[in-house]
Structure 1
Amino acid sequence: MNLKFQNKKITGILTVLPENEVNFDDEIDNYDFSRAQSMKLKLIMGYGKRRVVKKGTAVSDLCIFGMNYLFDNGFLKKEDVDAIILVTQSPDHFVPATSHIIQGKLDLKQDMICLDINQACSGYPIGLNQAFMLLNQEEVNKVVVLNADMMSLKVSAKDRGSRPLTGDAASITIVEKDSADSVIYGTVNVDGKGADSLIIPAGGFKIPSTPETAKLRTDKGGNSRSLDHLVMKGDDVFNFVQKEVPPMIKNLLAKANRDKNEIDYYMFHQPNKFMLKKLADKMGVSYDKMPNNVVENFGNSSGVSVPTNITYNLGEQLLTNSFLICLAGFGAGLSWASLLLEMGNLNFCNTIDYNN
């Protein structure tokens, strides 16, 4: 589906990273793989450092910490927040919505909208889409898009495919009405037939967690997981990304009447370095325009890898410059979504550490 928004803009992006850093080299003996094979994979896939939460930390904690940072530093006023959109697959509870918990703990006004959106890898552009739509309302002038996930808690310590890549993070993006005649183009796609390509089988209402679902089982690839853990069919996900993302971006650019070389940066979700390089090659885009350095420094934090990509690689530049940026997320669902927008002259664009 093609989308188009007018007179909307992003005015600030903040990424919140857990202080707890894990190095792949320190976990290398957890995996049923020779050290030589592991080090080869480290180079190809981008295994390196990743940020993970400490036990007891919740998504609301990361978001509240970031929001208070913005309030304390004068980047945001409580009374100006008209809506909160939280995109996560790591809610604090089944009930109530985590956005409600955040609103209450921050003591924000009652005259506002709070929404939780259950999306993963494509969640950042999908959350922005919802924010743009809310801004069409007369009384909605400023929307806070929170994107946060803590999937490290749902990945088996013996899963060499997902564990070395999985990180945690939260982001806060402020979206407002734009007095300039700006246009934002977007796309959203979904294929639920591939839902089991990235799935946590147990823990919901369909298959509640029990001692039986917690038992580890070893697959033919040597990965040991339980039904309570994230299961990823790596080949299926890789093929899906290579097949669906390039035509999505081609269609997006055609709708905007833009050539791929006009785009300053392709700030994409970063599952791993290998996949991003292959995607850039297929699209004919230089690695300089499509950074792939987030996973090796922070890990794959699902949809939050997109704003992390922006604050890490473009942070200070976006305070004084403006760029034509293509955003894209793709993965669990299966879903894939993108946005093309002018971004720049932001009030803030930085990364902070969560410490509590």
Structure 2
Amino acid sequence: MNFKGKKITDIVSVVPSQISRFDDEIENYSFSRAKCMKLKEIMGFDEHRIAPENITASDLCEFAFNHLVENKGLQRESIDAMIFVTHTPDHFIPPTSSILHGKLGLKEDSLCFDINHGCAGFIIGLQQAFMLLEQDGINKVALLNGDTLSRKINNKDRNSFPVVGDAGAVTIIENDNNTSDIKIFTKNRGKDAMVLKIPAGAFRMPSNKDTSKDIDVGDGNFRSLENLNMEGASVFSFVQLEVPLMVDEILKVNNLSKDDVDYYMFHQPNKFMLEKLADKIEVAREKMPNNIVEIYGNSNSVTIPVNITHNLGSKLLEDKKLKLCLAGFGVGLTWASMILDMGSLNSCEIIEYEE
């Protein structure tokens, strides 16, 4: 898809103040301390942010939105549409976007809806925002990404729990005729959707006393059918094969070389995967930051805004435009990418949630 006259003006990410450390979690895993420390080095395990049980993804996004209102001059009545992207809604019914509409004090004729998406969810959300901005009467869209996926991952699963993190983000997008065209590629491979799943808990397999039992899955990890289950080798192979091809494709249609891009701000499943991906694409690892998991954790669709605000926050407040390639990949299986110029933002920061 090709869009004209669209601009990101604000990005605020929010993380819980509660820090969980891999070194303190080692006793949960049926692995020697020496092997755990080797995993820490390779995968980038260190700290991650875990939300208290009473805090939801919508709470994190509400906090970030109110920060923009109270500290950055965002006007609630200026929001013509609001999109909430999450895998962890407050309820099955009503939509969490409806709850947020009320809490954020948005006007009654603002369009609000949820998108159930994960790793590529930031780019999917931006695409939806851009399409909404093509409509008369919609001039400013708030994209909210949030997940508290930590409570759906077993803390005895050393493959997944050390990398998970909870976070939220608010991105404001507006019409602006002084911007370059933006092209977005999205692809799906639904036949392989179940390589990343939570099997039980919805209507295909409702929760019961058996689905909540921890099971030794055979590699020293424990999880129940209500926990996240990822076929790691399949996901790794998919990312290493398909994402470089998409990056080559989007560079080609933009008439750009790899060196023309200032930063590759990608979804961050773990440090190891990003290092291998940078090598496969043949770009310097310094241009593809991979430090988010070891500081905050993998927060699903929120990793890209967390990546941007943590690593480029001050740079993007300057007048100079940076050319960024964004890419998200994973749950679905879905992968998406875009290239855009970003700079002169009103705000670009990461904050801690306070109750």
Aligned to 1:164, what secondary structure does the other structure show? helix
Read off the aligned partner of 1:343 and give its amino acid letter.
Answer: M
Q: Tell me the residue number matched to 1:140.
A: 138
AA paired with 2:340?
L
Matching residue's letter, 1:211: K
Write out per-residue CA displacement over residues 259-298 of structure 1, whole angstroms, 9 at most, x where no aligned residue: 1110000000000000000000000010110000000000
Q: Distance in 2 between matches of 1:114 and 1:353?
A: 26
Unmatched tracts of structure 2, length 5 or more = none
Counting only pairs closer than 5 Å after superposition, residues 196-211 of structure 1 correspond to structure 2 as 196-211=194-209
SS at match of 1:161: coil
Which residue pairs with 2:298 in the alignment?
Answer: 300
8 Å contact from structure 2 (residues 119, 331) kept in 1:
yes
Q: What's 2:86 paired with?
A: 88
Q: State the SS of the aligned residue for 1:275.
A: helix
**Contact 2:4-2:177 within 8 A present in 1 as well:** no
Q: SS of the residue aligned with 1:214?
A: coil
Q: Which residue of 2 aligns with 1:16?
A: 14
Equivalent pairs, count: 354
Question: Helix, strand or coil: the match of 2:162?
Answer: coil
**In the TM superposition, what is the alpha-carbon distance from 1:181 to its structure 2 partner?**
4.6
TM-score (norm 2): 0.99
Gaps of 5+ in 1: none
Aligned to 1:157: 155
| CA distance in 2 between partners of 1:38 and 1:175 (Å) | 42
Matches of 2:169 and 2:314 in 1, distance apart?
A: 16
- Give the whole-Å Cα distance in 2 for the aligned partners of 1:181 and 1:219: 51
Aligned pairs for 1:166-245 (under 5 A) are 166-245=164-243
Give the aligned partner of residue 44 of structure 2: 46
Q: Return structure 1 stretches of 4+ with deviation > 2 angstroms.
A: none
Match of 2:5 among 4, 7, 16: 7
Judge which range, 252-261 or 166-175, deviates more: 252-261
The aligned amino acid for 1:33 is F
* Paired position in structure 1 for 2:344: 345
Asked if the contact 2:44/2:270 (under 8 Å) is kept, the reply is yes
Question: Where does residue 59 of structure 2 map in the other structure?
Answer: 61
Q: Is the 8 A contact 1:47 1:164 kept in 2?
A: yes
Length-normalised TM-score, structure 1: 0.98
Q: Which residue of 2 aligns with 1:102?
A: 100
One-letter amino acid matched to 1:139: G
User: Aligned residue for 1:329?
Assistant: 328
Q: Secondary structure at the match of 2:130?
A: helix
1:247 aligned onto 2:245: yes
The residue identity in structure 2 corresponding to 1:107 is: G
What is the identity percentage for the equivalent residue pairs of Structure 1 and Structure 2? 52
Deviation at 1:179, TM superposition (A): 2.2
2:122 to 121, 124, 138: 124
SS in 2 for 1:19: coil
Contact 1:125 1:338 in 2 (8 A): yes
Q: How many angstroms apart in 2 are the aligned matches of 1:205 and 1:181?
A: 45
* Equivalent AA in structure 2 for residue 132 of structure 1: F
Q: Is the 8 A contact 1:75 1:347 kept in 2?
A: no
**Alpha-carbon distance change, 66 to 181 in structure 1, aligned in 2, over 3 angstroms:** closer
Q: Who is 2:30 aligned against?
A: 32
> One-letter code of the match for 1:218?
D
Shift of residue 152 of structure 1? 0.3
Amino acid of the structure 2 residue aligned with 1:303: S
Structural mapping, 1:248-263, within 5 Å: 248-263=246-261
Distance 2:114 2:247 in 1: 27
Q: C-alpha root-mean-square deviation of aligned residues, in Å?
A: 0.7
